[in-house]
């Protein structure tokens, strides 16, 4: 076993740890890739994180990058690192389905910009990961629904479900997800990993299957905050193929990870608890409150803050992304509705019921929230809140139409609306052993401060060192899988 990995399986090395060993030629990219492929073979039959696995091309790429590293052509911290991609990122010559039967035969001719950047950095693609159909919520439209590795009877979070599961279960070193209303942060929180929502425009969205043009964000999902910083540095930056991408310089996020947060001010969303207290699980409340106390003990100043119209964030977000989703898939609804699952059909048809006036009013609320959040972030450096309202729900108890409950996602959805960066970092476990996530959100284009505070907290409370228990025997399909098979048979 390579020096520095004693007592740790290769598939649970962080990107930083593996990258250091690869750079020193103490670890072979081929051995590392094979370790992940073996792990996938052993575990993914229980958790179903991969929709398309690429073992032959992954090993061929591993051999190629090994030659580069041996020759002294080391490209950086992701050179030789095996990763997975949510199956909405275009990959040249590899199916990209959006988790839907509508696109099951779709094979792109070029890579998404983020995929091209990761390739240029020398990463190794293990495969495409399961996701909720068309990045909404609920089940995948093709393949079997991913399961939470901490308890396979529980949901993994939507819609970047496979990405969260694969990173948590040691099935890839890092992954990319998309987030329209929480879809990076939700599965990060429920699977006990780190998920970062970058500023709107910080990361190019070219080559990603869309759900909502004005709310979609792409971001890294990793075991540690440092790994998220490494991935963000690679995928961030202006892209002429995406006119919404920012031309602002991309800093070296790793340099911000000093561990020192003295003098920073953390705002706690007191209104979230007062308005939605009955919706937040008490174990989540306790874990987040303890995390805030930890930050205060580490030298940060803590004060209560208010976003006066936070209660309207979820409904405004729902109106915007369902209206935009309906516009995006209107032709699909007209010609191929039978190839769409029941849940995505309900959401898209709901989007078609909103009027132009509804959409305009939702955008007005969005503008109001932007101003209110900006005012709060003049007083504080970050806003702290739960990443989700509770630990992972059992499949049998989960309602896939939960997005229509305006209380459930307000503290996450609001940062998609205003375009601010936000991160979910593990902050504890429920009595049942299910992960809980702390969300920290900051000023637009200030991912450095978000990462800085999340990293300092992670150093104090290194929950990332705890891994899911060995998967119990798979008990059968989820209720969603059973219903999907019944529909397909009929």
| 8 A C-beta contact, residue 195 and residue 423 | yes
Q: Which residues pair with 304 in a beta bridge?
A: 268
Catalytic site residue from 49, 100, 163, 183: 183
Distance from C-alpha of 195 to C-alpha of 164, rounded to nearest angstrom:
8
Among the listed residues 100, 159, 212, 245, the single catalytic one is 159
Query: To which H or E segment does residue 289 belong?
Result: helix 282-297
What is the helix (H) or strand (E) element at residue 35, kind and residue range?
A: helix 29-47
Query: CB neighbours of 391 closer than 8 A, spacing ≥ 6?
Result: 154, 190, 281, 283, 284, 429, 430, 432, 434, 435, 436
* Residue carrying the six token digits 């990076």: 184
Identify any residues that bridge with 394 across adjacent strands, giving them in sequence order.
154
Residue 412 annotated as catalytic: no
293 a catalytic residue: no
Residue 484 in tokens = 């999907």
CA distance 131 to 63: 29
Count of CB atoms situated within 10 Å of the CB of 355: 10
Tokens of 116: 């091209």
Residue 86 annotated among the catalytic residues of the structure: yes
CA dist., res. 405 & res. 389, Å (int): 12
Active-site residue, from 49, 86, 132, 471? 86
User: C-alpha angle with apex 147: 143 to 148, nearest 5 degrees?
Assistant: 155
Count CB-CB contacts under 10 A for residue 288.
24
Q: Which residue has the tokens 């305006």?
A: 406
CB-based contacts of 75, cutoff 8 Å, min separation 6: 68, 120, 121, 122
Question: Which positions are annotated as active-site residues?
Answer: 86, 159, 183
């Amino acid at each position: 076993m390579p020096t520095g990995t004693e007592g740790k399986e290769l598939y649970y090395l962080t990107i930083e740890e593996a990258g250091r060993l690869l750079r020193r030629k103490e670890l072979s990219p081929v051995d590392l890739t094979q370790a992940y492929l073996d792990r996938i073979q052993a575990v993914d039959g229980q958790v179903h994180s991969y929709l398309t696995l690429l073992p032959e091309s992954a090993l061929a790429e591993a051999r190629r990058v090994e030659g580069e590293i041996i020759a002294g052509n080391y490209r950086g911290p992701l050179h030789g690192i095996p990763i997975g991609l949510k199956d909405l990122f275009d990959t040249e010559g590899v199916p990209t389905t959006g988790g839907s039967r509508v696109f099951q035969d779709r094979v792109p001719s070029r890579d998404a910009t983020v995929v091209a950047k990761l390739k240029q950095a020398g990463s190794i693609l293990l495969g495409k990961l399961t996701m909720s159909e068309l990045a909404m919520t609920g089940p995948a439209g093709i393949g079997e629904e991913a399961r939470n590795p901490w308890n396979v009877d529980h949901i993994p979070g939507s819609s970047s479900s496979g990405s969260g599961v694969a990173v948590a279960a040691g099935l890839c070193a890092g992954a990319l997800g998309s987030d329209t209303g929480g879809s990076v942060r939700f599965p990060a929180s429920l699977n006990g990993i780190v998920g970062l929502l970058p500023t709107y425009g910080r990361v190019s969205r070219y080559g990603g299957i869309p759900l909502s043009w004005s709310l979609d964000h792409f971001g890294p999902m990793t075991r540690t905050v440092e790994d998220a910083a490494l991935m963000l540095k690679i995928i961030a930056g202006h892209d002429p193929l995406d006119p919404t991408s920012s031309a602002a310089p991309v800093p070296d996020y790793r340099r911000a990870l000093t561990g020192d947060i003295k003098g920073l001010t953390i705002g706690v969303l007191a209104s979230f608890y007062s308005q939605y207290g009955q919706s937040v699980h008490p174990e989540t409340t306790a874990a987040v409150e303890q995390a805030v106390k930890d930050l205060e003990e580490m030298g940060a100043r803590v004060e209560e803050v208010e976003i006066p119209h936070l209660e309207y964030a979820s409904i405004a977000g729902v109106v915007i992304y369902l209206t935009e989703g309906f516009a995006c898939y209107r032709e699909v609804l007209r010609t191929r509705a039978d190839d769409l699952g029941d849940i995505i059909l309900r959401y898209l048809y709901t989007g078609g019921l909103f009027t132009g006036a509804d959409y305009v009013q939702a955008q007005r609320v969005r503008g109001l929230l932007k101003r209110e959040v900006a005012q709060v972030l003049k007083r504080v450096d970050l806003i702290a809140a739960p990443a989700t309202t509770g630990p992972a729900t059992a499949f049998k108890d989960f309602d896939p139409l939960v997005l229509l409950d305006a209380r459930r996602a307000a503290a996450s959805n609001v940062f998609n609306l205003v375009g601010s960066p936000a991160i979910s970092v593990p902050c504890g476990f429920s009595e049942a052993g299910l992960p809980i996530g702390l969300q920290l959100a900051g000023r637009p284009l200030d991912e450095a401060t978000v990462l800085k505070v999340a990293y300092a907290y992670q150093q104090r409370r290194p929950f990332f060192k705890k891994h899911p228990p060995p998967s119990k025997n798979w008990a059968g399909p989820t209720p969603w899988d059973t219903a999907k098979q019944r529909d397909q048979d009929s």
